[in-house]
Amino acid sequence: MKMNDSYQLYIPTGVKAQNELFSGFGRRELMQSIAGSIMGGITAAFIWLFFQNVAFTVVAVLTGIFGSVMMTTRDQNNQSVADQIGNMIRFAGDQQIYPYRNLDEWGTKQGIYIK
């Protein structure tokens, strides 16, 4: 083998690990959407109990269904709105301040604490 031989690595884009019902929406997202739709149905049932307005109840059910599907569908970065919200919550709980001690490189001063 010669030293000037080069190898190229081909990494395909857009390869999905699981089957999808439509682009960005697979079995996992379907289960999440079903759970969200059930929550929307429960909310609509409470709306019906309190207001007994058919139009408002139907709009609440459809909003729950469409909203849950839209929130769980993944984009080209493989992130859904629900995943992004989870990442933001997890990031807010992580350590945000990293105190460190700045030592003098040449040994002429005392260390300085910086927050």
Q: What is the pLDDT of residues 80-90, one digit of tens each?
A: 999 999 999 99
pLDDT-wise least confident of 34-43, 47-56, 95-104: 95-104
- 88 or 99, higher pLDDT: 88
**Residues 25 and 69 sit within 8 Å (Cβ to Cβ):** yes
Reported pTM? 0.66
Q: Indicate the Cα dihedral angle 42, 46, 52, 56, nearest 10°.
A: -60
User: Which two structure tokens, joined as six digits, stand for 78?
Assistant: 């493989």
Model confidence at 11: pLDDT above 70: yes
